[in-house]
């Protein structure tokens, strides 16, 4: 316990010394303090409570502070005498303490353990009283130190003001000195001119001696003050220079922060350029492979002018049809002219199909129907109008029944209804190369699910809304933000698909290479033909169909391929769960109901279907992947 008290007392002493040293300004004191701290860190603190061990440790600490005290005496000129006296008094006290300790040890040996114990108890009581006294003194000294600190700060301010006054006084003395010199010069001029007498020119020797002694006293006082001020303000920096250095530091810090931000921006730009470079290299490799394949398997462009000899109107009409078309477009135009739809284009009337129940309701008519020769735009406008009405009407009616209702609501006469229905079907047959017309035609005849168009439409408007949310001004968005929004909307699309979407956007808006701003109003501008007429919508639909075909192929491969027998619902569920681990229960039940044509959700048993039928149903429905196929070690839900 005594060892712990000595340890705490030593620590308190060191802390007090550090606080006192931290308040001094000269540099040599800071250097001595740093040296003392380094030496104290090297000492190993005693872990034992034996007084002998603790005493040896504090002897080493005392030796360190003794050396530091010598350095302080050597460096301090003003207070060196009093410090030397303090040191000698402290050394004498230490010697007396050592002699007393020696005497106490000798007394312990003479009187034995009992006397020693009594002395120890008495010492403990006295030390306890002394501790309380010292604690009280410590509190008083702390209050006094705080008061003295305030007084020191106040004196520093006063000293600075006195220093300014001394500077002003010095300037005034300089002025007086020069005025005195001028007056002496004038006096010499007057003396040389003979104005004053010889007696006035002579000075009083006694007065001069008194003035000389007075000047010597003032000079000695001034030298002492100058030496004292030199010692005190040796490490002081002028306020003007400090403010200038502080301003320079702030400017340098701002410049450094700006350069760091620029460096970070350049790093991000460098990463994007590297990614773009890698993408371009991959695209270049693919393009080279395609070019080599085309060079190997390509054929020269055929002589399309010969086709004019086999169509109505001759070569003049063929040149008009094939002007500005590519080889593929020219081939499609030729097939339209030579196909069954070509014969109906030049007919004046259509023959009605009759009123047999097998005929679709909107085509049940007997007699001839006038050929209106609808243009491609008119057919697209009618199809878009049908879709808008069907969405408002809901899904309670099939597409055939709604088309019948659509024409009945608009045209009261059966002949007029038949004209528009037959002309719409004729125009749609000629426009099956258009994706939106082909989708409408398949849904109208029941070959495709209506959910394909609804999901496609929802995807389009979700994509548009997300892009407008990312736009800062509600109209424009840069290409980087467009790419991020596209990836967020379509997380399952590959980098190639994202790049194709960006290329289609540039092509649709006719953007230059240096232009990186996308105008959303122009990109999503719709007309009477519907949203799916723009190039971006066609690209999204194409990628959607490609992704669905790939998804269906993976499911069929998981089922076992062509040699597998009839497929039951639990087998199809298992294949969906393996290929698409992220699929949920609702989506799973929707896919199963579509494939097995279950309208009643309460039914729990279905008949197995051949693989060919399952493949056709999967290809004709709204079958989408919900997530990536592989998810590491995540748990998979199995459907049985």
347 and 476 in a single domain? The answer is no
- Cβ(575)–Cβ(469) below 8 Å: no
In a domain, 609, yes or no: yes
Q: Which residues 6+ apart lie within 8 Å of 570 measured at CB?
A: 639, 640
Residue 637 lies in a domain: no
Query: Given this model, what pLDDT does residue 159 score?
Result: 83
Are 34 and 82 in the same domain? yes
Q: What angle do CA 348, 350, 356 make, to 5 degrees?
A: 170
582 beta partners: none
Token digits of residue 33: 């303090």
With a cut of 50, which residues of the chain have pLDDT below it?
Answer: 1-3, 6-7, 21, 24, 195-201, 341-343, 599-604, 631-640
Q: Which of 176, 192, 208 is the last residue of a domain?
A: 192
Residue 242 lies in a domain: no
**DSSP character at residue 567:** B
Of the candidates 431, 443, 463, the one whose C-alpha atom is nearest the C-alpha of residue 387 is 443
Tell me: do 402 and 488 sit in the same domain: no
Cα angle at 597 between 591 and 600, to 5 degrees?
95
Give the residue from 427, 428, 407, 410 showing the smallest Cα distance to 365.
407
- What would the two tokens of residue 446 be? 């029941």
Range of the domain at 252: 247-291
| 37 and 162 co-located in one domain | yes
| Pair (41, 144) in one structural domain | yes
Indicate the SS3 state at residue 565. coil
In a domain, 207, yes or no: no
Distance from C-alpha of 121 to C-alpha of 114, rounded to nearest angstrom? 11
Q: Rg (Cα) of the chain, in Å, rounded?
A: 52
Residues 509 and 436 in one domain: no
Residue 358 within a domain: yes
The number of domains in the chain is: 4
Residues 172 and 265 in one domain: no
Based on the fold, state whether residues 361 and 434 are members of the same structural domain: yes
Domain final residue, candidates 127, 161, 192:
192
* Cβ 444 vs Cβ 399: under 8 Å: yes
Whether 421 is in a domain gets the answer yes
- Both 42 and 187 in one domain: the answer is yes
DSSP 586-619: HHHHHHHHHHHT---TT------B-HHHHHHHHH
What is the DSSP-derived secondary structure letter of residue 235?
Answer: T
Q: How far, in Å, CA of 411 to CA of 407, rounded?
A: 6
> Which residue, among 505, 473, 469, has the nearest Cα to 485 in the 3D structure?
469
Angle ∠(163,165,170) on CA atoms, nearest 5: 95
Q: What is the dihedral of CA 44, 49, 53, 56, to 10 degrees?
A: 70
Cα separation, 456 vs 536, in Å, equals 12
Q: Compute the CA torsion angle 258, 263, 268, 270 (nearest 10 deg).
A: 140
Q: Please report how the helices 450-470 and 479-489 are oriented relative to each other, as an axis angle in degrees rounded to 10.
A: 140
Residue position matching structure tokens 């007057």: 190
505 and 565 in a single domain? The answer is yes
């Amino acid at each position: 316990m005594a060892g712990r008290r000595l340890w705490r007392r030593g620590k308190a002493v060191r802390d007090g010394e550090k606080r006192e040293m931290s308040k001094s300004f000269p540099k040599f004191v800071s250097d001595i303090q740093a040296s003392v701290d380094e030496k104290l860190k090297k000492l190993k603190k005693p872990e034992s409570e034996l007084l002998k061990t603790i005493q040896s440790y504090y002897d080493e600490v005392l030796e360190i502070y003794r050396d530091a005290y010598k350095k302080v005496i050597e460096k301090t000129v003003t207070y060196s005498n009093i410090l030397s006296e303090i040191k000698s008094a402290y050394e004498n006290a230490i010697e007396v303490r050592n002699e007393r300790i020696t005497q106490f040890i000798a007394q312990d040996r003479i009187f034995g353990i009992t006397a020693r114990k009594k002395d120890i108890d008495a010492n403990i009581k006295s030390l306890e009283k002394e501790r309380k006294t010292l604690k009280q003194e410590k509190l008083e000294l702390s209050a006094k130190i705080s008061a003295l600190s305030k007084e020191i700060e106040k004196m520093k301010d006063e000293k600075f003001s006195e220093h300014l006054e001394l500077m002003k006084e010095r300037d005034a003395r300089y002025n007086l000195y020069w005025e005195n010199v001028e007056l002496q010069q004038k006096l010499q001029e007057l003396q040389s001119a003979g104005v004053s007498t010889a007696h006035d020119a002579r000075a009083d020797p006694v007065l001069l001696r008194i003035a000389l002694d007075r000047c010597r006293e003032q000079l000695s006082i001034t030298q002492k003050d100058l030496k004292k001020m030199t010692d005190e303000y040796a490490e002081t920096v002028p306020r003007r220079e400090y403010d200038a250095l502080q301003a320079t530091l702030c400017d340098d810090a701002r410049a450094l922060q700006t350069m760091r931000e620029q460096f970070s921006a350049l790093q991000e730009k460098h990463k994007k350029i590297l990614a773009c470079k890698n993408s371009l290299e991959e695209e270049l490799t693919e393009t080279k492979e395609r070019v080599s394949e085309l060079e190997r398997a390509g054929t020269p462009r055929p002589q399309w002018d010969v086709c004019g000899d086999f169509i109505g109107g001759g070569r003049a009409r063929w040149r008009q049809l094939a002007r500005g078309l590519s080889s593929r477009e020219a081939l499609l135009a030729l097939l339209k002219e030579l196909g069954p739809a070509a014969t109906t284009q030049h007919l004046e009337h259509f023959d009605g199909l009759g009123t047999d129940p097998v005929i679709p309701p909107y085509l049940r008519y007997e007699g001839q129907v006038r050929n209106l020769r609808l243009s491609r735009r008119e057919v697209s406008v009618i199809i878009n109008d049908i879709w808008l009405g069907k969405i408002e009407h809901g899904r309670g009616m099939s597409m055939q029944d709604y088309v019948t209702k659509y024409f009945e609501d608009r045209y009261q006469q059966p002949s007029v209804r038949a004209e528009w229905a037959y002309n719409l079907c004729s125009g749609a047959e000629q426009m099956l190369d258009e994706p939106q017309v082909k989708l409408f035609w398949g849904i109208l005849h029941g070959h495709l699910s209506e959910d394909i168009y609804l999901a496609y439409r929802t995807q389009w408007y979700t994509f548009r809304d997300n892009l407008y949310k990312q736009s800062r001004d509600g109209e424009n968005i840069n290409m980087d933000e467009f790419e991020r929004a596209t990836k967020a909307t379509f997380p399952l699309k590959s980098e190639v698909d994202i790049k194709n979407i960006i290329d289609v956007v540039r092509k649709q808006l006719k953007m230059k290479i240096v232009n990186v701003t996308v105008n959303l109003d122009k990109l999503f501008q719709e007309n009477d033909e519907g949203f799916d007429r723009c190039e971006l919508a066609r690209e999204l639909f194409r990628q959607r169909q490609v992704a669905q075909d790939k998804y269906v192929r993976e499911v069929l491969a998981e089922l076992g391929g062509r040699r597998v027998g009839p497929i039951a619902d639990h087998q199809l569920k298992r294949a969906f769960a393996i290929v698409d681990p992220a699929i949920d229960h609702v989506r799973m039940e929707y896919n199963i109901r579509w494939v097995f044509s279950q309208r009643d959700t309460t039914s729990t048993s279905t008949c197995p279907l051949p693989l060919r039928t399952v493949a056709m149903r999967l290809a004709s429905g709204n079958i989408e992947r919900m997530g990536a196929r592989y998810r590491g070690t995540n748990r998979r839900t199995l459907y049985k």
